[in-house]
Amino acid sequence: MSTCKILVTGANGQVGSELQFLAKQYTDFEFHFTDVAELDITNEKAIVDLFTKIKPTFCINCAAYTAVDKAESDVAKATLINETAVKYLARTCQQFNTTFLHISSDYVYHNRVNRPLKETDKPAPKGVYAATKLAGDVVALAENLNTIVIRTSWVYSSYGHNFVKTMLRLGKERDKLSVVYDQIGAPAYARDIATAMLEIIVKIEAGKTNFRGIYHFAPAGVTSWYDFAKAIFDMENIDCQVAAIPTSAYPTPAKRPHYSVLNCDKIKRTFDLEIPYWKDSLKACLVILKEA
C-alpha cells in the first residue's frame, strides 16, 4: 500500500502549527508542511510544480487572509488568498486526484435563526472577509470533486495571535476590561480542529465514509465573548474586572456575526468524531500556554 502523503499549506498559522505538533503521532502519514516561504499559493504554476514532485494524497489548506477589519480596505489581497488561491489549490487537487480539505468560517452566515446553524442554511456574508471566504468555499467545491469544507468559529491556540492570548496579556496589565456580550458562539481550539481533520483522513483512508461537502466543526456548548473572557480569567485566577458591553459600543470596520453557534451533528455522524466541551479545550490550551 502506498504511503498517504499530506500537504499542508499555511502551516505556520494556528491550525497549521497544531498539525505540525500532531504529525509525530500519525506515523503512517508522510507530511509536507509549507507556508508562503515554501509555496506561494497565489501562483498556480508553483502549486502544480510542487504537486508534481510530492503527489499528495490529501491537501489541507490552512492558509487564509484572516485580518477581518483590514480586509475591508484590502479587497484585492483578501480575494487573492481566500478565493483565487483556493481555486488554484482545488483545481490542482482535481488534476492530481488529491482530496482537498479547506478551512472556512462562521462569518459566511451572518444569519439570525435562533438555533444552531446547519450546513444547509443559506449563507449571508457581510463584509469583504466573509464574502471572500464564502467565494473560496464555492470555488473549492466546484473545482474539486473530493473537497471537504470545514467551517469553524472563534479559533484560538497556544500558537499565533488570538483572543485567549490577548486576554491573558491585557488581564495582567489592566484592572478592568470591556468585552462584548451580544455575540454568541463557541470558541474552537485549533488543536481540536487539527485532530478532527487528521481523524477524518484516517476514516477516508480506511474507506469508511462518503465525505464530499460542507461540515461544521466547533466545540460543544455556547458562550459569548464576555463569558469567554470571564472563563479565561477564572481559570487563571487573574484579578481583572470584565464589563459587558453591546457590539454597538465597540464599532469595527467589518460587521461581526451576532450568532455563530454551529450545529456539528453532520461531522460527528459522518466521521464518528467526539467533540470536546469548549471549557475543557480552553483548560487544555491554558495548561500548554503555562508550559511554554
d(CA 62, CA 247): 29
Q: Quick check: 241 and 177 in contact, CB under 8 A? A: yes
**Residue 94 per-residue DSSP state:** H
d(CA 10, CA 39): 9
d(CA 82, CA 209): 28
Q: Which candidate in 88, 107, 129, 189 is catalytic?
A: 129
d(CA 233, CA 239): 7
Q: E strand or H helix at 103, and its extent?
A: strand 99-105
Q: Is 250 a catalytic residue?
A: no
Place of cell 460543544: 220
Q: In 144-277, which ranges are continuous DSSP H helix?
A: 163-173, 190-205, 225-236, 265-271
Place of cell 481550539: 189
Single-letter residue type at 88: Y
Q: Is the dihedral of CA 146, 2, 55, 64 positive or negative?
A: positive
At how many degrees (to 10) do helices 278-291 and 190-205 cross?
110
Q: Quick check: 100 and 89 in contact, CB under 8 A? A: yes
Angle made by CA atoms 4, 151, 139, in degrees to the nearest 5 = 75
Q: Quick check: 240 and 171 in contact, CB under 8 A? A: yes
Catalytic residues: 129
